[in-house]
Structure 1
Amino acid sequence: MRNTNMYYLVEQLSCFVLLVHVVLAANYVPTDVILLNCGANGETSDPDGRKWSTDIGSKFASSETNSIVSDATIQKPSISETPYMTARIFPSEFTYSFPLTSGRKFLRLYFYPADYPNLNATTGVFSVKAGQYTLLKNFSAYDTITNLNYDFISIEYSIYVESGTLNVTFTPARDTPNSYAFINGIEVVSHPDIYSSVRTSMLVGTSRTFDIDNSTALENVYRLNVAGHAISANGDTGMFRKWVGDASYIFGAAVGVAVTTDPNIMISYPPGMPDYVAPVDVYKTARSMGPTPEINLGFNLSWYFDVDTGFSYLVRLHFCEIDPDITRHNQRVFEIFINNQTAQPDADVIAWATKSKVPVYKDYVVFLPSKSPRQDLWLKLHPNTFMKPHRYDAILNGVEIFKINSTGGNLAGTLPNPIQKQDIIDPSRVLPHNSDKRKEAKLERRDI
């Protein structure tokens, strides 16, 4: 006689296995994954459980004669041992060569500018090139983390590799006495062509489009899970991107509200949009302006980002209507402004996605002229009144901002502006970026 309970248990387990397979199948599987813990004594694991190999005796370095390896003298509480507590240090030019399949690659560089034996962290000034692109020039990891109030820094690039080999070269600065270059970790991960290929982006403030092709290199400068938690490398969709919260980038006191929803909500990716464009957790959280239309009409929901000038930037905005009351066209329509220019006059997420709980993303390119070395890139959302929507409100789920290489393949920029520290550590409070903004930090009026 058949055991009915056992039959149903097997059937349920089969469905569960199938569901897990579907979830895992949504992740991108990279053809190249290289995790190099520079100066390490053998294989190590990072906090995400990923295995890193040492570059000592590695096939990626043709010679180690003009470099040394060293342990950092101090491990701060925020520092993970892998890949930050060992380094390879270069008193002269040094090149790693990575044999790769052709296609787009994420190149991530990890720096912990500690004092290494007989070396001063302040003289670690150098340049980095990858293939034909200048990634960093006269770069000081020490000054960078000091201004940002960080203990370490990682920088991510997207580069198309055609020849099958990517050379990454470190060169100490000639104009800095006793200069040296160093690196703690190098990561190379294949990724699909989700930021370029056939997609063209609108060049904000013009009627022209901007093409991102295989000759374009990108530097990721910001990647935010709006109103949500940080997402670790393992929480991404197979490309090991890291997403952070948006609280410290919101302008002024008008921070809007987090859109609350059932944590078990089912997000359905639309046809033609790969599931790995962004993690589902990005689309399960959002920030809106709030329930009061009179208040919403009087301010912009705004974020600001310190960036280099003289470059174009790809701004990718992620949307998903997760409010159960928003299910039809023209219920929530809003304007999108980037750097005080209209990027989208009539954003309607339901109209774009055709229904709720379906993700969509929009790409915009903005150019920042070289008026000063750095300035803030502004993103503002405001209710559209012309369409007479049901709600005067706006919504945003995620943001990615990429610097685009300038003529000659340059991505190198300047030192970031110092971050002002809060007297009280409170994620709901956001400091103005400078004294002028402090005067404006009440409720920002709509002044486009």
Structure 2
Amino acid sequence: MAHPTLSAILRCLTLVWILALAMAADNNTIGSGQIRLDCGAPSPPSTDADGRSWDSDTNSKFAPSLKGIAATASSQDPSLPSPTPYMTARIFTSNYTYSFPVSSGCMFVRLYFYPTNYYGNHAAADAYFGVTAGNLTLLYDFNASQTAAAVTPVSVAFFVREYFINVTEGSLNLTFSPSTHHNGSHAFINGIEIVPTPDLFTTPIPTLANGGNPDPFPILAGTGFQTMYRLNVGGQAIPPQEDVDFYRSWGDDSAYIYASGYGVTFGKDKNLTITYTPSVPNYAAPVNVYASARSMGPIAQVNLNYNLTWIFPVDAGFYYLLRFHFCEIQYPITKVNQRSFFIYINNQTAQQEMDVQVGS
């Protein structure tokens, strides 16, 4: 068999990366308790483009002794999906903490940013700040306008930063702190979303490390993660509204493929039914993620001449978690050794002779 390879250059705190696909069965119920805060908005709740309701932070139980300025954006970029939660912001010239009384457990925390100028002489260029969640530093000396301009392959007008946090004390405190290294700095936030989840990362799962040996670096329950890339491989981007339980975004992987070695993409066979398993429950990813894949071509001799490689811009000096979700969705690949490959990460062997059928 040919040995296609997979290599990646990774980025900050967490890389959530879906490669070919994982199947799973059981109808686990996802808990409620979601919070969406439209910062700086008037008191009545508003709705976004997907019909989801957002509460204002004005007179909110989550914003005790609320400080800061409620501000409105000076212009609306046409790329904004809706005015909520982007067209209003809460601006802080001193430290301020939102306090969310939540049940202990894991949750996604999303921070929504529209870096533009806000009425009241609050320029995007002056917004240098940090954000902490308890003892976790989420952002440090951060400038949202610089971040938006640096997004590849093209700059963006708005973006969302997503974190996975395990809350152990029954409350989540998010503190916004203007930078002390830039004169006249202020902090700002457009929207805060909190979504309770099962433990997606620290529970025992099959690992790929050191040629397939168990991971020698277990993930502690108190570890926080930042989502850097979450990709639907071989298929179209999946918008958040199609990930009903957790409202996750799944990007198109093609922009990250190295050179011209795109391989071939394919969808699941029509006579195949995607199911879930107890070890990979239905909240691992929406079913559409599992309905597409990317592979090397069917000719083994050709496959030996190139590698199927993804490259991701990353920051040095951090640890990264990669998640690969596998499932065979193409007939007649039904037996061991029909499709076997190596996985390399930064030119290091993560898995030898990977065969999805072995683990199915």
Please point out which of 183, 191, 195 is paired with 2:189: 183
The residue number in structure 2 matching 1:19 is none
Displacement of 1:28 in angstroms is 4.3
Secondary structure of the 2:276 match is: coil
> Shift of the alpha carbon at 1:321?
0.8
Instruction: Work out the CA distance in 1 between the residues paired with 2:38 and 2:308.
Output: 41
Q: Which amino acid aligns with 2:39?
A: C
Q: 1:106/1:268 Cα in 2 relative to 1: closer, same or farther (>3 Å)?
A: same
Indicate if the aligned counterparts of 1:199 and 1:211 stay in contact, CA closer than 8 A.
Answer: no
Q: CA deviation at 1:294?
A: 2.2
Report deviation, 1:222: 0.6
Following the alignment from structure 1 to structure 2, what is the Cα–Cα distance between the partners of residues 178 and 342? 49
In structure 2, the partner of 1:90 is 92
Counterparts of 2:177 and 2:297, CA distance in 1: 51
- Give the deviation of 1:205 after TM superposition: 7.5
Q: Which residue of 2 aligns with 1:234?
A: 241
CA RMSD of aligned residues (A): 2.0
Q: Name the larger-Rg structure.
A: 1
- CA shift at 1:198, angstroms? 3.2
Match of 1:139 among 117, 131, 142: 142
Shift of 1:122: 0.8
Following superposition of structure 1 onto structure 2, how do residues 206-225 of structure 1 map, counting pairs within 5 Å?
209-225=216-232
> What is the CA–CA distance in structure 1 between the aligned matches of 2:352 and 2:211, rounded to whole Å?
12
Q: Does 1:266 align with 2:269?
A: no
Q: TM-score, normalised by structure 2?
A: 0.87
Q: CA deviation at 1:309?
A: 1.3
Q: 1:55 aligns with which of 40, 54, 57?
A: 57
C-alpha contact 2:26 2:282 (8 A) present in aligned 1: no
Q: Name which of structure 1's ranges 95-104 and 266-275 shifts more when overlaid on structure 2.
A: 266-275
C-alpha distance 143-230 of structure 1, shift in aligned 2 (>3 A)? same
Larger relative CO (CA 8 A, sep 6+): 1 or 2?
2
Q: Which amino acid aligns with 1:70?
A: A
Partner residue in 2 for 1:73: 74
Structure 2 CA distance for partners of 1:240 and 1:263, relative to 1, 3 Å? farther
Quote the Cα distance in structure 1 between the aligned partners of 2:58 and 2:212.
Answer: 51
Corresponding residue number in structure 2 for 1:245? 252
Tell me what 1:106 maps to: 108
Out of 320, 332, 342, the residue aligned to residue 339 of structure 2 is 332
Q: Which residues of structure 1 form unaligned runs of 5+?
A: 1-22, 354-448
Q: Could you say which structure has the higher strand fraction?
A: 1
Show structure 1 runs of 4+ deviating over 3 A. Answer: 23-28, 198-208, 260-265
Structure with greater helix percent:
1
Separation (CA, whole Å) in 1 of partners of 2:256 and 2:73: 31
- Closer, same or farther in 2 for the Cα pair 1:246/1:81, shift >3 Å? same
Distance in 2 (alpha carbons) for counterparts of 1:319 and 1:125: 41
Q: Is the 8 A contact 2:37 2:193 kept in 1?
A: yes
Structure-2 residue corresponding to 1:195: 201
Q: Which structure 2 segments of 5+ residues have no match?
A: 1-23
Structure 1 residues 86, 205: closer, same or farther in 2, change over 3 A?
farther
The one-letter amino acid of 1:35's match is: R
Q: What residue identity is the alignment partner of 1:272?
A: S
Q: Secondary structure at the match of 1:281?
A: helix
Provide the secondary structure at the position in 2 that maps to 1:319: coil
Query: 1:87/1:24 Cα in 2 relative to 1: closer, same or farther (>3 Å)?
Result: farther
1:69–1:264 Cα change, 3 Å: farther
- With over 3 angstroms needed to count, the CA separation of the structure-2 counterparts of 1:24 and 1:314, relative to structure 1, is closer
Query: Which residue in 2 is equivalent to 1:38?
Result: 39
SS of corresponding position for 1:145: helix
Aligned-pair CA distance for 1:27: 6.1
Offset, 1:273: 2.3
Q: CA deviation at 1:295?
A: 1.9
Q: Aligned partners of 2:222, 2:210: CA distance in 1, in Å?
A: 21
Aligned residue type for 1:196: T
Matched residues, number: 330
In the superposition, the TM-score normalised over structure 1's length comes to 0.70
Deviation of 1:24 (Å): 12
Task: After superposition, give the CA deviation of every residue in 1:72-103 in whole Å (9 maximum; x if it has no partner).
Answer: 11111111211111110001111100000010
> What amino acid is aligned across from residue 32 of structure 2 in structure 1?
T
Q: Determine the C-alpha separation between the residues in 2 that align with 1:25 and 1:49.
A: 28
Take 2:40 and 2:25, find their aligned partners in 1: how far apart are those partners? 34
Indicate the residue corresponding to 1:129 in structure 2: 132
Q: Aligned AA for 1:241? A: R
Task: Tell me the equivalent position of 1:154.
Answer: 160
**Maintained 8 Å contact 1:95/1:170:** yes
